[in-house]
Structure 1
Amino acid sequence: MKASPAPSVAHLISQSRERSTQDIKHRRFVFHAENQTVTLDDFKIDPNQVDLRVVDTSHLPLAKNAYRLYSLTEVRDALNPLLVVDAGTAATLSVPTSLGLVLTNGHVATSISHSLFATGVFCVNSSGAAKVAYISEFSSLECRDAVQSGPVIVSPGGHLGIHTAELSKPPLRRSLVSIDSRGSAHFIITSPAHLYDVAAFIIHFLGSNAALNLATGTTQSGLLVDDGHITLVYGNVNASIPAAIAVFRKNQLPR
């Protein structure tokens, strides 16, 4: 799919290295684009040093025989990940069951949707490597864990994957995942922004080779970091969500 030519690069106002751990490197960027100032928090992880998993929140029992959808806070409390971010495409805000693929540890919780919006997939293979691709490529990816979402904002190869028409929509809070040329995964959350501007920024400043929008808006977009020493909360971490991506210390997956 061809997208619009790359826009002029947003003006970087500041960047800072926030408190990081051995497993997660946190940087904050502030940039100006389309007459607005955007704050972007980037959490970079090396899939070789951690375990990445997709969480099906409809099968996460916090009490005996109690199955329902859970929030990021409840996923954190149940599984104790280093980082958790919401993912997937919800049916509605009141019934946030997944409308797209959710695959966890080889088990298909929900099947692929042919949505015009959820055009991409975040995939983790059996060796733990992470990838962002178009959902049409899923059958060739050999994923152990995967979640469908969209749109793809950086096409594989580091090309702008979204059109200028997106600029006509209101800017919204975003949570995204980006894979760089070295295979590191970047979990990103922004203040209200256009996906077009965010895509251009992460290509130029983060070396994004492929990136996928995970969730949008104040009710869905959230990210939570908790390494046992510091807790960082972004967006809405108490709303029920259809799925999540969780980062665990190596060899410390919950039983």
Structure 2
Amino acid sequence: MKFCPNCGNKNKESAKFCTNCGYNLKKRDNAADSLHSTNSEKRTIRRIAKEQNKSHKSTWVIATIVLLCVIAGGYYFLNIGSKSASSSNTATTQSANTSVSTGTTNDSIATQNSGSNDTDIKLSSDIGPKETAAAIAYYADKSGLDGWENYLKANNGITIILDSDDIAMVSEKGQGMIYGVLNEQQGSNSLPKNVYTLDEDNTVNIYHLSNEDDSDNPATPIKSISKDEIIQYINNHGYASDVKKLGSKVTLDQEAN
């Protein structure tokens, strides 16, 4: 059924004109179609607008996500790079410190080994006459006995004058022999000032003679000490190596003329 928009009369569906007022029902149909078409177009436009709006929202969401990923990635790589550089610098510093520490330790060990080579050398109690003379002279020099201090100087050798004729000049005559000690800078045809005698029990009597000493006024020892005590002193102070070197440069002269 069709209703006339002009008078409201009911008409057949196939009617072109209203049977009551003669209104052209075809205009109604066209208007309805036009209205339907317009409504359809409006719905289509709204749908497209919604889709575009959704698309824009999706684009913004995606763009925001990408931007956040870029920022996070940049921060991550910067942080990792900084830590890597810091670790590298720390490793380099530690390596340098280790190298320095190792070099210092090696130098210290080398120094200790160098020093221990001398301290490992010891004099024995049965040393020969040249090393005995060197040990007595070295002891008198290093212990600072009057007239003996710095007597050996460059340690370039000594000459031992064996003199029995002047034994009366000393109070402790030992076994009847005076051992005069000449350093490397002296050349003398008379008895040296620095002398010693050696008792049978290996007690060493050390003298520094003066011009007043003679047979009527014999000199007294400035030090009487056992040979073993002298050797112990030499060993304890690390002088054994130097004494051995000096002993190899000792010359024994039977008597001064």
Does TM, scored on the shorter chain, surpass 0.5? no
TM-score, normalized by length of structure 2? 0.21
TM-score, length-scaled by structure 1: 0.21
Higher RCO (Cα < 8 Å, 6 or more apart): 1
Structure with larger Rg: 2
Structure richer in strand, relative to its length: 1
